[in-house]
Amino acid sequence: MSIVDKAFETQLNNIQKRTGKTLDELFEIIRRSGLAKHGEIVDMLKRELSMGHGDANTVAKFYFKPAGEKEATAGDAIDEIYSGAKAALRPIHEGLMAAIVQMGPFEIAPKKGYVSLRRKRQFAMIGPATKTRVEVGLNVKGVQGTGRLTELPPGGMCQYKVNVTDVKEVDGELIAWIRQAYENAG
């Protein structure tokens, strides 16, 4: 099991601990609500059970998964993103995720070419920018750009980015910036 799949499993376990309810019990609450749309269910779980957006979204996603259907995992998306010429960058991604998982619960949303990490809001994007570097996009305010932490033009999906070419660059400085973004997201 990849570190991404472990993070997802940890999130599900944490949801059950925080709510004091099993997934089956959460699904029964959804069934009794009579709601049929993903967004309505997310809103209801947030309102009725005080769940965070990422947790409510995860429960709703699993609720709609047909029985017996193989769940496309975040790990599957990571396998595709870090294939071919970009495969050598996978250890950087794994190093980043190992550190981020320690921060607490969050949602992993695979996209084409990167993963979005969110709490109530997106706090980071991680993906290979080229075959030689991973780009970490950060949504964080009140930070001064440096030679390493590059400020991006306003209006983009992230305010800053950090280019990482070696797993050794997943260090205390980078993790501190990610932690600040994580904490600000909710």
Please check the confidence at residue 14 and state whether its pLDDT lies above 70.
Answer: yes
Q: How many domains does the chain have?
A: 2
| Structure tokens that stand for 12 in this block | 């599900």
Rounded to 10 degrees, the C-alpha dihedral 116/121/123/126 comes to: 10
Would you state the structure tokens that stand for residue 6, as one six-digit string? 């472990």
Residues 82, 172 share a domain? yes
My answer on whether 22 and 92 are in the same domain is no
Residue with the bigger pLDDT between 47 and 155: it is 47
* Same structural domain, 117 and 98: yes
Domain that holds residue 10: 3-64
Residues 103 and 16 both lie in one domain: no
Q: Going by C-beta distance under 8 Å and a sequence separation of 6 or more, which residues neighbour residue 22? A: 16
Instruction: Note whether 84 and 7 are same-domain residues.
Output: no
Structure tokens belonging to residue 22: 């099993």
Contact (CB, 8 A) for 52 and 186: yes
Rg (CA), the chain: 17
Q: What is the pLDDT of residues 18-72, one digit of tens each?
A: 899 998 899 999 989 998 888 899 899 999 999 888 788 888 887 877 554 444 4
CB contact burial 24-50 (16+ within 10 A = b; e otherwise): eebeebbeeeebeeeeebbebbbeebe
Q: Is there a single domain that holds both residue 59 and residue 100?
A: no
pLDDT confidence of residue 73: 57
Taking the C-alpha atoms of residue 62 and residue 52, their distance in angstroms, rounded to an integer, is: 16
Query: How high is the pLDDT of residue 3?
Result: 57
Same domain? 40 vs 112? no
pLDDT tens sequence across 114-153: 999 988 889 999 999 999 999 999 998 888 889 999 999 8
Same domain, 45 and 94: no
Evaluate whether residue 8 is within a structural domain: yes
> Is residue 104, in this structure, part of any structural domain at all?
yes
Indicate if 94 and 164 belong to the same structural domain.
Answer: yes
Tokens found for residue 36: 């049929």
Quick one: 39 and 92 in the same domain? no
pTM over 0.85: no
- What integer pLDDT is reported at residue 70 of this predicted model? 44
| Identity of the highest mean pLDDT range in 43-52, 149-158, 161-170 | 161-170
Average confidence (pLDDT) over 152-157: 84
165 and 97 belong to one structural domain:
yes
Q: Does residue 69 lie within any of the structural domains?
A: no
pLDDT by residue (tens digit) across 26-41?
A: 999 998 999 888 889 9
Q: Which of 38, 64, 90 is the last residue of a domain?
A: 64
Are 103 and 17 in a shared domain? no
- Over residues 87-105, the mean pLDDT reads 92
